[in-house]
Copies of this chain bind each other. A is one copy, B any other.
Amino acid sequence: MIEDSRKILSEHSVSITNPRILVLEALLEFGNPITIDELQSKLKGAVAKSTLYRVLNDLKKIKILNEFTSPDNSTVVELILEDHSHHHHLFCSDCGEVIDVELSEEFETMLNKEIENVQKKFNFEITDHRVEMFGLCTEECSNCK
């Protein structure tokens, strides 16, 4: 995992430092979208708060980190790995879990057509989009038991 982290950093010509490795490792290990709070507690104080935010900004700058706000207003962060294809998010309003969801090809194709239309209609250049779903996890969610 350390080697993965080093590799990621050097591939993006970002200097390899301890805090960056620790943050990347934590993100890689968790493997799912994670709130900054959770990330902080996984790091157990090993990285200063200011540094954590700086590292996250660095990762955003090199486009390997996605950041969004969950319905309960906490900031959620997620690594974008090469093998991690286009996907969307499902939020549990109860436990706060965020799950990656892939939707069907046909759906994505249709969504792209819709986006085309919106671009024309509003004279916009649309660069990105996001589908979010909210609800309650039932039996299977480990957090809500």
User: A residues engaging B (CB < 8 A)?
Assistant: 68-69, 73, 90, 92-93, 99, 101, 103-104, 106-107, 110-111, 114-115, 117-119, 122-141
Chain B residues contacting A118 (CB-CB under 8 Å) are 90, 101, 103, 133
Copies in the complex: 2
Question: What separation, in Å, do the CA atoms of A139 and B123 have in the docked complex?
Answer: 7
Cβ–Cβ contact A134 & B123, under 8 A: no
A101 nearest CB neighbor, chain B only: B118
Residue among A103, A104, A124, A136 with max Cβ neighbours from chain B (10 Å): A124
Contact of A132 among B107, B130, B134 (CB under 8 A): B130
Chain B residues contacting A124 (CB-CB under 8 Å) are 90, 92, 133, 135-138
Cβ–Cβ contact B138 & A133, under 8 A: no
Contact of A128 among B73, B122, B134 (CB under 8 A): B134
Cβ–Cβ contact B134 & A126, under 8 A: yes
Residue among A110, A114, A115, A138 with max Cβ neighbours from chain B (10 Å): A114
